[in-house]
Structure 1
């Protein structure tokens, strides 16, 4: 009996160590992506200013490289600055917040959808309320959005991604926020330009 208890203790310690390493690795990868996004923004802002095209043309023609950090999302209420990566595959979401590639970018006048994990980049996001802000720093400008609506949908509901006929920043994450395992729902924030 004592041997079985010792095995469970060892397994428990191993599980805690694996979890701690995963949290550490996630934070390290996210920080690297934030540094990359800051460098990208610095370089491309200079490039955009040097271009002969108008600012409107630069915004309309912008497209990020798949799997690369290209912008920074600031959440003032949570005092967070987070990298936005092009794509929402597992590796992209490990780096930061993912931008759904077939949606617009800030300034393009249509729906922008970004997504992140509730237990990593969006930890604490449940504290946001109607009226709080998201700030997106893009290579060509900075955009502030105000949360005006929220919604909870089933995890497989893709109707959230759609043409809205106006610029709307849609921020999605798993829900319930404190759920252990794969959450059955998605919490959606709809934020509009100020």
Structure 2
């Protein structure tokens, strides 16, 4: 009986490890494809000289890149924050503003994929948002931790532009994390 129980536990362990390995690999492939798509979108827009008024992204569309030099990250930005969008990269909260709109911009990502090294970021670190109509630089000024259901961090900041980046917290938590880690960054020179 012990042999069978041991064998069953080993098989269950292999299946769980295999499933997680597949999810990780699939997510990496989705992100790599999304970076390629976003780079293509940016190159085509540069040729056309797209304006902010012409920029009207659709849900689940790769719209740009988020560069974080401190952690050597180049991440695709996707319109929307549903699971399918976040699987591809950093999600732009659909009702939030975009750079240059002089309001709050909200970008979210998973702590175990695109924002894996988020805990290394400190005040003064730079975020570069590349969209079809321009490149925007922001400097991190502060961070905080809030409960997972706290939506007060998403609000209009008009006329002050603010980049808010969110991910689950604690970073090494197994399962659905109870908190959110929030970074506030502002246009360079403001």
Write the distance in 1 (CA, Å) between the matches of 2:47 and 2:101: 20
1:135-178 CA-to-partner distances (Å, cap 9, x unmatched) read 11111111110000111111011111101121111000000111
User: How far is the alpha carbon of 1:59 from its aligned partner?
Assistant: 2.0
TM-score by length of 1: 0.93
Aligned 1:144-183 pairs, distance under 5 A? 144-165=137-158, 166-183=160-177
Aligned to 1:4: 5
User: How far is the alpha carbon of 1:66 from its aligned partner?
Assistant: 1.1
Segments of structure 1 that go 5 or more residues without pairing to the other structure are 50-57
* Aligned pair partner of 2:179 in 156, 177, 185: 185
The answer (yes or no) to whether the contact 1:60–1:108 under 8 Å persists in 2 is no
Aligned to 2:29: 28
Segments of structure 2 that go 5 or more residues without pairing to the other structure are none
SS at match of 2:154: coil
Aligned to 1:53: none
Write the distance in 2 (CA, Å) between the matches of 1:66 and 1:3: 49
- 4+ residue runs of structure 1 moved beyond 4 angstroms? none
Aligned 1:53-64 pairs, distance under 5 A? 58-60=51-53, 62-64=55-57
Task: Compute the RMSD of aligned alpha carbons.
Answer: 1.0
Counterparts in 2 of 1:171 and 1:139: CA distance versus 1, 3 Å: same
Aligned to 2:107: 114
Deviates more, 1:60-69 or 1:120-129: 60-69
